[in-house]
Amino acid sequence: MIKFLLKGILRDKTRSLLPIVVVSIGVMLTIALSAYMKGAFGDMIDQNARFDTGHVKVMTRAYLENKNQMPNDLALLGVDSLAQSLRQDFPDYQWVQRIRFGGLIDVPDENGESKGQGPASGMAIDLLNESSGEAKRLNIETSLVSGALPTQSGEAIIGHDFAEKLGLKVGDEITYFGSTMNGSMTFQNFKISGTIRFGAAVMDRGAVVVDITDAQQMLDMQDGAGEILGFSKLNVYDDEQAGRMAEKFNAKYAGDSDEFAPVMLPLKQQNNLGEWLDYADMMSGIFVFIFILAMSIVLWNTGLLGGLRRYQEFGIRLALGEPKGRIYRNLILEAVLIGAIGSVVGTILGMAISYYVQVVGIDISGFLKNSTMLMPSVLRAKVTPELFYIGFIPGVLAMVFGNMLSGIGIYKRETARLFKELEV
SS3 357: helix
The answer to whether 409 contacts another protein (rule: CB under 8 A) is: no
Q: Which stretch binds another protein (CB under 8 A): 83-91, 200-208, 307-315, 400-408?
A: 307-315
Q: Cβ of residue 9: shortest distance to another protein, in angstroms? A: 9
Give the nearer residue to another protein in terms of CB position, either 133 or 307. Answer: 307
Q: Cβ of residue 6: shortest distance to another protein, in angstroms? A: 11
Q: Which stretch binds another protein (CB under 8 A): 3-11, 112-120, 138-146, 171-179?
A: 3-11
Q: Cβ of residue 402: shortest distance to another protein, in angstroms? A: 21
Q: Cβ of residue 421: shortest distance to another protein, in angstroms? A: 12
Rounded Cα distance between 236 and 45, Å, is 11
Give the nearer residue to another protein in terms of CB position, either 11 or 369. Answer: 11
Q: Cβ of residue 357: shortest distance to another protein, in angstroms? A: 40
* Number of residues this chain uses to bind another protein (CB under 8 A): 24
Site string for another protein, 309-338 (x = CB under 8 A): ---xx-xxxxxxxxxxxx------------
Q: Which stretch binds another protein (CB under 8 A): 106-114, 220-228, 389-397, 412-420?
A: 412-420
b (16+ CB within 10 A) / e for 294-306 = ebbebbbebbbeb
Selected binder of another protein within 4, 113, 171, 366 (CB under 8 A): 4
Residue 385 has phi, psi (to 5 degrees) of -60, -30
Q: Cβ of residue 10: shortest distance to another protein, in angstroms? A: 9
Give the nearer residue to another protein in terms of CB position, either 4 or 369. Answer: 4
* C-beta of residue 201 within 8 angstroms of C-beta of residue 369: yes
The answer to whether 388 contacts another protein (rule: CB under 8 A) is: no
Q: Output the CA angle 27-33-38, nearest 5 degrees.
A: 125
Please name which of 414, 278, 391 lies closest in space to residue 339, comparing C-alpha atoms: 391
Which residues, in sequence order, are bridge partners of residue 122?
A: 101, 208
Beta-carbon contacts of residue 28 (< 8 Å; ≥ 6 apart)? 346, 347, 349, 350, 353, 391
SS3 170: coil
Q: Cβ of residue 21: shortest distance to another protein, in angstroms? A: 19
Please name which of 317, 93, 59, 100 lies closest in space to residue 203, comparing C-alpha atoms: 100
Beta-carbon contacts of residue 191 (< 8 Å; ≥ 6 apart)? 154, 155, 156, 171, 172, 173
Selected binder of another protein within 185, 251, 254, 424 (CB under 8 A): 424
Q: Report the 10 Å Cβ neighbour count for 238.
A: 15
Give the nearer residue to another protein in terms of CB position, either 266 or 306. Answer: 306
Helix (H) or strand (E) holding 77: strand 76-77
Helix (H) or strand (E) holding 415: helix 415-422
Rounded Cα distance between 2 and 337, Å, is 9
Q: Which stretch binds another protein (CB under 8 A): 4-12, 100-108, 343-351, 389-397?
A: 4-12
Q: Cβ of residue 19: shortest distance to another protein, in angstroms? A: 16
The answer to whether 199 contacts another protein (rule: CB under 8 A) is: no
Point out which residues bind another protein (CB under 8 A).
1, 4, 7-8, 11-12, 312-313, 315-326, 415-416, 419, 424
